[in-house]
Amino acid sequence: MRKCSRTGCANPAVATLTYAYADSTAVVGPLATYSEPHSYDLCEEHALRLTVPRGWEVVRHDGEFAAPEPSVDDLTALAEAVREAGRPDRPIDQPEPASGTGRRGHLRVLPNPVVE
């Protein structure tokens, strides 16, 4: 279950807010299937109370906002993940052995030079 994107709100999300900057429009519609980086999930209260800057327009979904029901795909994916995690023959990732130099992200760790 996805939560409302508003800070401090723990209510379940039922709507998705997206902005069309070129048109100065905010669009509030039913909850999107997937969480997108440039959209915001909102609970019913925040979806209905949304205000926009002067000169902007809000386009809202006309129907009621309802919490999404788990789909067969969601339940199947969950069952497969649990089954995979519980397999006794599942390969376990071993950490790489520590060496003098390591790489982490875009940074590189170098050993201190030995000064004699």
Tokens coding 28: 């509030």
Model confidence at 82, pLDDT cuts 50, 70, 90, reads: low
Q: Note the pLDDT of residue 38.
A: 87
pLDDT, one tens digit per residue, over 40-55 is: 999 999 999 999 999 9
pLDDT, one tens digit per residue, over 6-51 is: 999 999 999 999 998 899 999 999 888 888 888 999 999 999 999 9
